Structures are given as C-alpha cells and as structure tokens.
Amino acid sequence: MLPALQLLPKPNEHHTFTRRPEWVRPLESLWSILAKWQFVNRVPYSTIASSILTRSGAAAEHGVDLRLLEHFCMDALAEHSGLSHSMIASAACSPSADSRMIEFASQHLRFCAACMEEGFHAALFQFTPIRRCPIHHRPLNEVCTHCRKKIPYRLDASFAAHPFACPHCAHPLLPDPTALMRQSCTNTVNDTIMNWQLFLATYVYWYAEGRQTLRDDSGRFLDHGKLPASPSMTRRFNFIGALQALLHKPPPLPTFTVDTKFPPWMSPQKVSCATAATPGYLQQDWPQFYSKRFLSLCQRYSRFYNSLQQLTSPREHEITRWWRRSWEGAISRQCDVTTAFTDPPLGITEWAFFSIVPARFLKSGAIQQRMDLRFEHDLRATWQAWNSVITHLDNSSSSALHPYLVPTRACWLTTPAFDPGSPALGFF
C-alpha cells in the first residue's frame, strides 16, 4: 500500500503539490518523472501547464513534446518535483527542436516492459538506434501491449488523465503501483545504461552533430544550414542496434594511440609523390580528388596497406579488412588485395577534411611533413583501434561489425562531455 501523501506548502504559490524525489532514479526520462509526479498529484492539465511550463509551452494547444527542455520552466519543475536542475535536464532528449538530436528521438513512447514494471523509463529508450533495454536485453516496445496503438511522447490532457497508462485505452503500463515506493538502482544498472548512452552519444556526435557531415553529388561537404532532413541520417546508426542484439556491453570506443615500439610492418614509410599511381576513378567525374595533396595521401595509404600483407593470421586479415573499409569508405563491397579505388576513398577524404591544419598553411613544407607523419600515425592507430574492437567481439557477433565503428574523422574529433545540466546525450 502506498504511504500517506503529504502536501508540502509553498509560499507565494497558487498550488501546492506532493513531491516524491526518492522515487526517481538517475538517467530517468521526463516522461517517467512527470508520470510519477502526476500519479501522486492528480491535477488537471491546465494546472500542470500553468505551474511548470513556459509561457509558450502553456499556450500550446496540443500539449508539449517531452523530448525537449525548451518548454519547461526549470526552476518551477525543480521546485515542484524536488529534483535538481541537472537531473531534469538529463531526462530530456534534446534542448530544443533546433538541435539535430531530435532526429534520433522517437515521438512515441518506447519502453522496456520489465523496467516499466518497476516504474522506470530511461531517456535512452527514446533514441531509435537503441533497440533493446541495456538492463534486461529485451526488445523495446513501441506500442501499448493492450490496444497496440502508439503512445505519444507528449505532456497533454491525456497524459494528465492517465499517468503510467495508455492514453487510448487507459490500460495501465505499471501493473503494481506500489513498485514506485520500492525504487532501487545499483551502480551496475546505472553504468550499464550510461555505457550505451555514451556509446550512442559519441557516434551521433561524430556523424551528426560534429562539423559538416554530408556531401553533395560532386563530393563536397555541405554546411549545416544546407543539410537536408533525411532518413539516411538515422539509418546511419543502425549498426548500434545490431550490436545490442549480440552484446551486453558496447565495444570499446576507438582510441588513437600507438605504442612507441610498433612492429616493422607498421614502421613509417617514406613515399615519393612522383610514384603515385593513377586512381581508377575518372578525373572528369571527381576533379577535386585529383589534387597533388590528395593523391599523395592515397599513395601513402596504399604503401601502408601493402605492408599489411606481411600479416598472415585469419584474425589479422579480418582486422585489415575492416580497417580498409573504414579508410576507403566501403559499406557493402568486399575489400581484398585485388580491389582498386573505383571511387575516391572517402575515408581518406574525411580524415583530410576534419584535419585541424588550415588549408592556407598546406604549402609550407614543414607543415606538410608534419601532416604526413600524422596521417601515417593515424593509419597505424586506426588499425590498432580495429584490433581492440574485434578483440571485444567473439566470432558469433562479428556480423555486427560496421565501418562506422572506427571512423577516420574521429582521429580529429573529440568525444562529447556529459556536463551536469546537459540533455541525455550530452549536447546543448
């Protein structure tokens, strides 16, 4: 039986509300936080809107999107819920509708039935690349288990009338409400969710929130303002869901360090630009990839790849194959010793594009030499990063490998920082 509810008076407020902050666990979602709050208060939506929403949010005719922070008055929500600003912020998927994070968060509730029985829903569940609950390893539900309709991820009159229930059929999502007073969360559970959250956040940052990430038909990168809203952006992260089906823990994020004592086949190569072979793709189709600078990188890459032929074990061949796919930009085709560049190697292009050296300095011989050494360092470092990833996987899960797991742009980009007060993936 639920404990007696005690209303906490607050001066200078039109309403007083019951607070149960001890019912909320770390990494919980706004949907779950507000469902618990409304479960003990049972106030009409108009009262909720006037108490915790911004003026624009309260004026919204059909309620507000629970993925976004921008509709909530943080001070009021913190006061009425008893939660910190940082906990509330981390419960949202995105700060505003302008953030590109919103592309990866579902407009409908996605939940784990086992977690829901405990009265818990994580913000991580709303991101579509996540297909399974990291705690229970079950596929996430995307419809009501009773009426099979999708549940809007919104704070509106239906949400207020049916907290922890389907707004369509009123079927309870929380079978036993007394579970709310038995909230327990171990560090292991927190770490499990956070590991996948950090894994997802890092790849979204590298492929979506970083600098220019899409190219036009001629291979040129587009500015953020010109990026179209495309489903291909969300499909880019499907490999994360495939990994979840096979692994309880995500693979290690790639790190790009090289042992000072690397084997002979990894030794830096002195490459003459004059010996660069003519690539197989046509200059009239890809003129920007025929610069002396880019052809020099391709030649250095080819020389390093040739040195990998000294490796003989099946595992080393597998590492080299995936290393080559990430550097050449191959997604579906097989890479072997007979494969030539029939398209520009976009992994090399990506490395060059994200390099931090300004283009106006590239005529300096000293800087060119420094960049050449950095390029060869990153060739070695990414091979070792693939080694770490593949070592983490057993033979049965190697089918989930994907070229995006070790992106060449990551040699230059950092990983996102989960600062206090940031939304779920750490982006403001």
Q: What is the pLDDT along the chain (428 residues), one digit of tens a residue?
A: 444 444 444 444 456 899 999 999 999 999 999 999 999 999 999 999 999 999 888 888 889 999 999 999 999 999 999 999 999 999 999 988 887 778 889 999 999 999 999 999 999 999 999 999 999 999 999 999 999 999 999 999 999 999 999 999 999 999 999 988 887 777 788 899 999 999 999 998 888 754 444 545 444 445 444 444 455 667 889 899 999 988 889 999 998 876 555 555 555 555 444 444 567 777 887 887 888 888 888 888 988 988 888 888 988 998 999 999 999 886 444 555 556 677 788 899 889 888 876 555 556 667 777 888 899 999 999 999 999 999 888 766 777 888 999 999 999 888 877 777 788 887 65
- Count Cβ atoms within 10 A of the Cβ of residue 106 and give its class: 0-12 exposed, 13-18 middle, 19 or more buried: middle
**What integer pLDDT is reported at residue 292 of this predicted model?**
82
Is-contact 124 132, C-beta < 8 A?
Answer: no
Q: How far apart are CA 357 and CA 185, in angstroms?
A: 46
pTM, full prediction: 0.84
**What integer pLDDT is reported at residue 14 of this predicted model?**
54
Helix axes 346-354, 314-328, angle to 10 degrees: 60
Task: Report angle CA 405, 411, 412 to the nearest 5 degrees.
Answer: 130
**What integer pLDDT is reported at residue 290 of this predicted model?**
82
Task: Mention every residue, 6+ apart, whose C-beta is less than 8 A from residue 55.
Answer: none
Cα→Cα distances 376→39, 351, 373, 382, 383, Å:
59, 11, 5, 10, 11
Token code pair at residue 352: 């060059």
**What integer pLDDT is reported at residue 182 of this predicted model?**
81
**What integer pLDDT is reported at residue 4 of this predicted model?**
41
**What integer pLDDT is reported at residue 260 of this predicted model?**
54
CB neighbourhood size of 395 (10 A):
8
**What integer pLDDT is reported at residue 264 of this predicted model?**
55
Q: How far apart are CA 51 and CA 58, in angstroms?
A: 9
Calculate the dihedral angle through the C-alpha atoms of 164, 169, 170, 176, rounding to the nearest 10 degrees: -70
Is-contact 286 219, C-beta < 8 A?
Answer: yes
Q: How far apart are CA 284 and CA 23, in angstroms?
A: 64
Largest CA distance in the chain: 83
